[in-house]
Structure formats: C-alpha cells, structure tokens
Amino acid sequence: MPAVTILPVAATIDVADDESVMAAARQQGLWWPTICGGDAECGTCWVIVEEGLERCSEMGETERARLALGMKANEPRARLACQLRVRGPVTVHRRSVRRATEKQLQRGEA
C-alpha cells in the first residue's frame, strides 16, 4: 500500500488500491474537511500535492470542474482528496486536516 504524508499535521497513512486519500485518512483517525462526504460536490477537501504528482491518478472531469469553481484551476498541483488515488508515495498539504477527537470518532466524522 502506498504511503501518503499529510502536511502540516505530519501524519502518514497507508492508502489501499482504488481508495481515495480522504477515505483512507478518515479510516485512520484523521478529520478531513468535507461537506458532501466525498462525492466531489463541495470541493472543500482540496489538497496541494507537494511530492509525487506523477504517482497520482488522472483527474476526471467532475474533479476538474469542481476545482475550477473553487478557484483552484490555476494551481496544477491542486486535487480533491476525495477523488485522489495514488500509485506510490505522495506528500500532500492541507492545513485544516487534524487528528480526530474522540467525539468525532464516535459520531463517525473521521
């Protein structure tokens, strides 16, 4: 399983084949900002790929359109974590990701 490092929280997670970075992070105890729950409808889960862009999945039209609406179209390293799959080690940056609280874990928010 490829490892993804998430900055600045400095967490490293394992991401299974065909699993999104956001889903893997949430399963491994991280809180990730989202409104739509990972359906590429809100765009709040965006990340900047710091390292390993060549090991990232191709961007689909839905993701591209959502990033354009969120003003990230001009940043070539921007991706939606709910859509991003990886094929090797990658480092991403998303300031608002943090370790989930016990309450968030109990409510299934992480």
| Residues 47/79, Cβ–Cβ less than 8 Å | yes
How confident is the model over 39-58, as a mean pLDDT? 96
Domain ranges of the chain: 3-99
What pLDDT was estimated at residue 109? 65
3-99, what's its fold? Ubiquitin-like (UB roll) (3.10.20)
The pLDDT tens digits of the residues spanning 53-109 come to 999 999 999 999 999 987 777 889 999 999 999 999 999 999 999 987 776 666 666
Q: Residue 10: phi, psi to the nearest 5?
A: 60, 40
What pLDDT was estimated at residue 45? 95
Position 6 pLDDT exceeds 90: yes
The pLDDT tens digits of the residues spanning 13-37 come to 999 999 999 999 999 999 999 999 9
What pLDDT was estimated at residue 81? 98
Instruction: Give just the sign of the alpha carbon dihedral 47, 62, 64, 83.
Output: positive
Q: Residue 82: phi, psi to the nearest 5?
A: -75, -15
Helix (H, G, I), strand (E, B) or coil at 24: helix
What pLDDT was estimated at residue 78? 96
What pLDDT was estimated at residue 57? 97
